[in-house]
Amino acid sequence: MTRTKTISTDQILDSLRSVMDPEIPVLSVVDMGVVRKVEITDHVIVTITPTYSGCPAMNTIESDIKNCLIEEGYKDAEVKTVLQPAWTTDWLTAHGREQLRAYGIAPPQGSTSKRALFLEDETVPCPKCHSKNTALVSEFGSTACKAHYKCKDCLEPFDYFKCI
């Protein structure tokens, strides 16, 4: 580690809150739950888990995390990727869920252990007008982790971040 002052994992996490998800730029990798662990030994080690194994954004996220740590003075920082346990929307922070809603994406409803078997069975409130009078348009939205809905009250289309 090239810094001389004592650092904590909380300080590293605070720094990583500036690293945004490239596909959803209002969510930090911390709020996404992608950052799983921060270790401080003779250098900083950040462990991340992709939202799914084929996520095209992971190389960018890894590079952005490393660049952030280098800018903070941690020249020997390491980013490790682990696939177990698999990422789940349960790892999204409350702040992250609010950021999604404010951005116009309906956050996941409930938790993965209590999710509906089929998207048609889920009531997904509109992130714009909060109406529950919505309809599934397509199980596939702008990215693999989202479905496409339409509000029947305000008539606005919106993405729903699927509960996975």
pLDDT tens digits along 80-93? 999 999 999 999 99
Residue with the two structure tokens 């740590």:
69
What's at 57, amino acid-wise? A
Walk me through the domains of the chain, giving residue ranges and CATH numbers: 9-87 (3.30.300.130), 91-161 (no CATH)
Which candidate, 92, 77, 72, places its Cα nearest to that of 14? 72
pLDDT band at 52 (very low <50, low <70, confident <90, very high): confident
Confidence band of 54 (pLDDT split at 50, 70, 90): confident
User: What integer pLDDT is reported at residue 145 of this predicted model?
Assistant: 81
Q: Are 32 and 16 in contact (CB under 8 A)?
A: no
pTM passes above 0.85: no
Both tokens of 13, joined, read 């996490």
User: What is the predicted pLDDT for the residue at 113?
Assistant: 60
Q: Which residues are CB-contacts of 14 (< 8 A; sequence separation ≥ 6)?
A: none
Count of positions (residues) in the chain: 164
Distance, CA of 95 to chain centre: 11
Whole-number pLDDT of residue 129:
97
Alpha carbon of residue 125 to chain centroid: 20
User: CB-based contacts of 52: which residues, under 8 Å, 6+ apart?
Assistant: 87, 144, 145, 164
Average pLDDT score over the chain: 89
Strand pairing report for 78-81 and 44-48: parallel
Beginning with the edge strand found earlier in the chain, give each strand of the sheet holding 78-81 in spatial order: 35-40, 44-48, 78-81
- Under 8 Å CB-to-CB from 69, ≥6 apart: which residues? 12, 15, 44, 46, 77
- Pairwise CA distance, residues 74 & 36, whole Å: 19
